[in-house]
Amino acid sequence: MKEKDGYINCPEQQVILYVEKEDGQYGPMQTGSYLSGNYLDDYEIKRVHLEESLRIRVMKGEISMVKYYMVLEDLTLSELAARVGLSKTKVNRHLDPVHFGKAKVETLKKYADVFNVPVSNMLQVIMLKKGDNLESYTVLEEKKQTEGIEQVKTENPYVMLVIIGEKRK
Amino acid sequence: MITIPYKHKMAAHCESGSITSLLNNAGLDITEPMVFGISSGIFFGYFHKMKSFPFPTFIVRNKPGKMRENLTKRAGIKFHTYTFKDPEKGRQMLNRLLEQNIPTAAQVDFFYMDYIPSWERVHINVHFIVVVGLNTYHYLVSDSYFPELVSLKTESLNTARFAGGNMSPKGFLFHPEFIPKDIDYEKAIIKGIKKSCFNMLKIPIPFLGVKGIRLFAKKIIEWPSLARDTEHLSHEIMKINILLEDQGTGGGGFRFMFATFLQQAAGMINEPELLDFSKKMMEIGDGWREFSLLAARFGKNRDLGPERMKELSEKLMDRAQVEQQFFSQLYKTIK
């Protein structure tokens, strides 16, 4: 690949490509990610749709929050079980809301740690009001565009400080 | 507070990049492509069904950790390595190494590297960073995928070092221990090339090497039946582009980096034939890039019917053909 063909404008995600320089020598160039530079909006649309479909199933009681995060984070049952240190059978049961309800708080904390979310988020779905619409906090938080709400860890592993901003007029 | 003076440089790949950066900072003048080539980094493997992956996937480099091991075998560079059962002991050892001013590479789950944009972060236990400093709440980190040194919460690094699951890092750390004064580059380069050819052509496993590319070509036709819906299929098809271009490959699924290695090797060991191979490998990389950009476009347009899958399959068959030819010729030349 020629150096001139490697240039992508994407300051948010920089990568190193090995390219042919003008003098014929091959070497590294720092540039932007092709996919993020061109198709990030498409990724976000799919992410929003996936989150929405999972959230609806959670709220209907079809799946638990374990399944919600497992699918969102592209983990298999085996991988999640290995990460939380439980058997696959047990994790499989926790995908179902009925069995999830019997899980200990300590177990929920294990799941929350793997998903890198506060343990309280294993029992709640946070939505933010944006004009007439509601938007998922999970997706907004990923984009670091949250306004008005902040979840801060405390020294107590089971308690999060939730800071809610002033209502805007 | 500890801050070790460390020259940070972005690199194409986290493992070859962190090894190169540690060696450069220890005084050895070696490039990332040279580390990659000597350690036979170039590879291909297709995994249609695996417990750890929710969807078929592929790799374009050798097994994580092998680059370091092969560099030791072929260039005599020794690394001190550590693994831990107890996270607390792992944390203490890293801090002790930093107190001794030793920049230390750590294997981590990429997901917890919160300075990286969220859309890039996935659970993968084989990311490598170099830790070069520490204060009460943060580690100072040199990550090949980030333009400058960054702070990472101590809690995030501790979690990332001891994440469970497939290829769990177990707190793995390493740093250079011994760098020979006179490395026999000729021997190391030839060995690296031979093993690369062997890996691509002769491993008797149907999903590895060139055989793996052919299997991928056959199996990609089945991908639509494995996806939840069109958006899921689109996501997985576009991930092909991530795996070939963005996930630290230097572009074209590491083929551009391997071409650079061959060009550098030609000069170092005075083997002009390698220059021709280098040019051919650059062209092969161009073909991979073309394939990956096509996949991204099909995914974005949700243009994912059987004809398109067939088109991708044919492109892959073509890659298998050219790589079979390339590595066979290279093997004969270098023998």
Question: For residue range B97-144, what is the model confidence (pLDDT) as tens digits?
Answer: 999 999 999 999 999 999 998 888 899 999 999 999 999 999 999 999
B119 & B193 share domain? no
Q: Is the pLDDT at B222 greater than 80, yes or no?
A: yes
A86 & A129 share domain? yes
ipTM reported for the complex, 2 dp: 0.95
A50 & A123 share domain? yes
The total number of structural domains that make up chain B: 2
A65 & A137 share domain? yes
| B296 reaches A (C-beta below 8 A) | yes
B173 & B217 share domain? no
A50 & A127 share domain? yes
Does some domain include residue A103? yes
B262 & B318 share domain? yes
Distance (Å) from the alpha carbon of A32 to chain B's nearest alpha carbon: 9
Distance (Å) from the alpha carbon of B5 to chain A's nearest alpha carbon: 23
Does some domain include residue A61? yes
Does some domain include residue B45? no
A21 & A69 share domain? no
pLDDT-based confidence at A165, cuts 50/70/90?
confident
Mean pLDDT, rounded, of chain A: 91
* β-bridge partners, A130: A133
Structural domain ending residue among the three candidates B135, B160, B178: B178
A55 & A84 share domain? yes
A93 & A144 share domain? yes
B87 & B152 share domain? yes
Say what percent of chain B tops pLDDT 90: 95
Question: For residue range A96-113, what is the model confidence (pLDDT) as tens digits?
Answer: 999 999 999 999 999 999
Does some domain include residue A52? yes
Does some domain include residue B164? yes
Question: For residue range B38-60, what is the model confidence (pLDDT) as tens digits?
Answer: 999 999 999 999 888 999 999 99
Q: Mean pLDDT lowest for which of A54-58, A146-150, B134-138, B229-233?
A: A146-150
Does some domain include residue A22? yes
Does some domain include residue A156? yes
Distance CA B65, CA B1 (A): 30
A20 & A79 share domain? no
Distance (Å) from the alpha carbon of A165 to chain B's nearest alpha carbon: 23
Question: For residue range B243-271, what is the model confidence (pLDDT) as tens digits?
Answer: 999 888 999 999 999 999 999 999 999 99
Contacts of B30 (CB under 8 A, 6+ apart): B20, B23, B24
B238 & B324 share domain? yes
Structural domain that includes position B132 = 2-30+78-178
Question: For residue range B236-247, what is the model confidence (pLDDT) as tens digits?
Answer: 999 999 999 988
Structural domain that includes position A154 = 40-164
B8 & B135 share domain? yes
| B282 reaches A (C-beta below 8 A) | yes
B192 & B322 share domain? yes
The total number of structural domains that make up chain A: 2
User: pTM above the 0.90 mark?
Assistant: yes
The minimal CB distance from B238 to the residues A25, A35, A83 is found for: A35
Q: Token digits for B65?
A: 């950790």
A88 & A16 share domain? no
Q: Token digits for A139?
A: 């997706």
B167 & B192 share domain? no
Does some domain include residue B58? no
Q: How much is the pLDDT for A66?
A: 98
B201 & B279 share domain? yes
B197 & B295 share domain? yes
Nearest chain B residue (CA) to A13? B117
Does some domain include residue B51? no
Query: Mutation test of the interface with chain A: which of B246, B278, B286, B291, choosing the one with the most A Cβ atoms within 10 A?
Result: B246
The minimal CB distance from B231 to the residues A12, A49, A116 is found for: A49
Q: How much is the pLDDT for B147?
A: 96
CATH number for the domain spanning A76: value is 1.10.260.40
Question: For residue range A19-49, what is the model confidence (pLDDT) as tens digits?
Answer: 999 999 999 999 999 999 999 999 999 999 9
Does some domain include residue A119? yes
Does some domain include residue A149? yes
With beta carbons under 8 A apart, name residues in chain B contacting A111: none
A136 & A59 share domain? yes
A21 & A76 share domain? no
CATH number for the domain spanning B86: value is 3.90.70
Does some domain include residue A169? no
Q: Is the pLDDT at A146 greater than 70, yes or no?
A: no
Question: For residue range B303-331, what is the model confidence (pLDDT) as tens digits?
Answer: 999 999 999 999 999 999 999 999 999 99
A86 & A15 share domain? no
Q: How much is the pLDDT for A137?
A: 83
Q: How much is the pLDDT for A154?
A: 86
B10 & B150 share domain? yes
Q: Is A116 helix (H, G, I), strand (E, B) or coil?
A: coil
B170 & B210 share domain? no
Q: Is the pLDDT at B289 greater than 90, yes or no?
A: yes
Q: How much is the pLDDT for B169?
A: 97
Q: Is the pLDDT at A84 greater than 80, yes or no?
A: yes
